[in-house]
Structures are given as C-alpha cells and as structure tokens.
Amino acid sequence: MPIERVGVIGAGTMGNGIAHVFARSGFQVTLCDVEQRFLDRALETIGGNLDREVAKGKTSAEDKAAALKRIVPALQRSQLANCDFVIEAATEKFQVKAEIFRDLDRICRTEVLLASNTSSISITRLAAVTKRPAKIIGMHFFNPVPVMKLVEVIRGLATEQETLDTVRDLALKLDKIPVEVNDAPGFVSNRVLMPLLNEAMYAVMEGVATVESVDEVFKLGMAHPMGPLALADFIGLDVCLDIMRVMQEGLGDPKYRPCPLLIKMVDAGWLGKKSGRGFYRY
C-alpha cells in the first residue's frame, strides 16, 4: 500500500517537526492535538522553521508554501481515518499513549502501520493494546527534527519484517538515516544519553560545578556541540524526567534514579527552553 497521507498525533516539540519533514517531502499530513492553541502554535513554528530554510537557500518560497498547505490541523482523531500511516508524538506517559493506540486501532484501516516517536516506552507493550501488534513500530526522531539525520527504528517483539522495511523506506524518503534497534527501555539513544544528562544535574546539585562550567567541560573537552544541561533544556526537563522514570522502572537499576534537582525543577514548571526557564533562561 503506498503511503500518501500521514497522521501525526501530538503537535508539540517533536510533532511539529515530524509534520514539517513529512510535508516537506510531499506527504499529506493531518496534525492532531487536543487544543486549538497547540495546533496554532505548531503551525506557527513550522512556518518559522521553513522560513529559516528559505533564508538559507535549502528550500524555495514556493516549496515552503506548498509544504504548509499539505498540513491540515485536526482536533478530532476520527480525521485520521483516511491516513495510510500514523505516528504518535504525544506526552511520554504510557497511559496517554496506550489510550491513543487503542483508539487508532479502532479508527485506522487494519493494514495501516502505527508508529510511536516515544523516547523510552516499550513498543511491545504499546503493540499489545492493539489488535495489530505486527504493525506497531517505534520511529524515534531527534530534536530538531528538520535538522537531525537519525531515526532510531525500534522493533517490538511482534513487529513484522514488512513493517520494519516500510518504516526504513519512509525514513529514507524523509532524507533521514534509519538505524534499527531492539525494544528495551530507552532503546540505545536515551539509555546512554539520559544518564549522562542526569549525572550532570547531580554535579550541579552537589555543587561540584556551575551549570555553565559543566557545559563548558563537555563542549571544550569532548567536542559536544552543546553541553548536557543546555541539551536537557532543549529536550524538555519534563521529557527527561519521564524518560528517567521509564528506565528506572523498566531496568530496575538504581543508577537510573532521576536527579532530585530535576524533579524539583519540573515541579516548579521550569521545563527548559519551551517554558522559558530551565538550567538557563530563554
């Protein structure tokens, strides 16, 4: 079945980037969220990011306008019924995603593949809430989606080869590079990255160094383009906390305990760049 119409659920940091790259590559996109203001904000962000691509000569003004026209905002999930592929990029909580997958399973044609952009939640567990576990897969984009090349493709226990092949092809059509991994909490990317970010937070909490010093160590000493605390702010501190909790629960090792400073900052509503304050002010 050719994939022409793509549904994206969740129009936040990742959802708007995913809608952007699908629309840029010629797919029709239905972008779905729970409130109109989230959809409006996403379309504004996509427009601004496309403008930046035009300014850099990566795309033309006509292509920008055509890409924007391909994105239809939607508040009702039933509007995804005609989609050939759906990717979920909603909040990193199992219950939220499970409800969405149960509903998509009811709404979408039986042959439609359903993907999750989850950073850490089990694809096998999400697949088990549907009647099509062979057609459920992880398609994990990286932030900022229009720029980052990697797509971590996660195979759940029941994911069939055809599903994997289709998603790999889809990633290539988006000009991304798919890398296949098996299902485990945090997959590869976040299993390795998040403990680094978490440890950097402990270093700040314990007074080992300032936020700026920790980030400088990584930029100058390890040639990271961005320090771990700036990166945590960019990812979203709430997202980092959710991922640490999934790994703590799923892997059971105390080394995945979220840093108390991270918990406190999320409680305060300091979520990083998206809320204007995190380890830095924006």
Ligand X SMILES: NC(=O)c1ccc[n+]([C@@H]2O[C@H](COP(=O)([O-])OP(=O)(O)OC[C@H]3O[C@@H](n4cnc5c(N)ncnc54)[C@H](O)[C@@H]3O)[C@@H](O)[C@H]2O)c1
The one catalytic residue among 16, 20, 152, 198: 152
In angstroms, the CA 86 to CA 202 distance is 38
Task: Examine the residue annotation and report whether 119 is marked as an active-site residue of this protein.
Answer: yes
Minimal distance, residue 102 CB to ligand X, in Å = 11
> Is residue 272 involved in binding ligand X (CB under 6 A)?
no
Give me the residue whose beta carbon is nearest to ligand X: 12
Between 10 and 258, name the residue whose CB sits nearer to ligand X.
Answer: 10
Q: What is the DSSP secondary-structure string of the chain?
A: ----EEEEE--SHHHHHHHHHHHHTT-EEEEE-SSHHHHHHHHHHHHHHHHHHHHTTSS-HHHHHHHHHTEEEES-GGGGTT-SEEEE---S-HHHHHHHHHHHHHHS-TT-EEEE--SSS-HHHHHTTSS-GGGEEEEEE-SSTTT--EEEEEE-TT--HHHHHHHHHHHHHTT-EEEEEE--TTTTHHHHHHHHHHHHHHHHHTTSS-HHHHHHIIIIIS--SS-HHHHHHHH-HHHHHHHHHHHHHHH--GGGPPPHHHHHHHHTT--BGGGTBSSSB-
The one catalytic residue among 116, 120, 122, 190: 190
**Which one of residues 7, 10, 227, 278 is an interface residue with ligand X (CB under 6 A)?**
10
Task: Examine the residue annotation and report whether 275 is marked as an active-site residue of this protein.
Answer: no
> Is residue 13 involved in binding ligand X (CB under 6 A)?
yes
**Candidate ranges 32-40, 60-68, 197-205, 220-228; the one touching ligand X (CB under 6 A):** 32-40
**Candidate ranges 52-60, 125-133, 203-211, 235-243; the one touching ligand X (CB under 6 A):** 235-243
> Is residue 231 involved in binding ligand X (CB under 6 A)?
no
> Is residue 178 involved in binding ligand X (CB under 6 A)?
no
**Which one of residues 22, 27, 38, 187 is an interface residue with ligand X (CB under 6 A)?**
38
Task: Examine the residue annotation and report whether 4 is marked as an active-site residue of this protein.
Answer: no
> Is residue 211 involved in binding ligand X (CB under 6 A)?
no
Minimal distance, residue 62 CB to ligand X, in Å = 29
What secondary structure, in 3-state letters, does 245-270 show?
Answer: HHHHHHHCCHHHCCCHHHHHHHHCCC
Encoded tokens for 244: 């640490």
Give the footprint of ligand X on residues 131-150 (CB under 6 A): 140-143
Task: Examine the residue annotation and report whether 78 is marked as an active-site residue of this protein.
Answer: no
**Which one of residues 6, 8, 14, 154 is an interface residue with ligand X (CB under 6 A)?**
14
> Is residue 186 involved in binding ligand X (CB under 6 A)?
no
- Are 123 and 136 a contacting pair, CB within 8 Å? yes
> Is residue 15 involved in binding ligand X (CB under 6 A)?
yes
> Is residue 151 involved in binding ligand X (CB under 6 A)?
no
> Dihedral through CA 257, CA 281, CA 145, CA 39, nearest 10?
100
**Which one of residues 117, 124, 130, 166 is an interface residue with ligand X (CB under 6 A)?**
117
Encoded tokens for 145: 């989606």
Give the footprint of ligand X on residues 73-112 (CB under 6 A): 89-92, 96, 100
Active site residues: 119, 140, 152, 190
List residues near ligand X by CB under 6 A. 9-15, 32-34, 38, 89-92, 96, 100, 117-119, 140-143, 235-236, 239
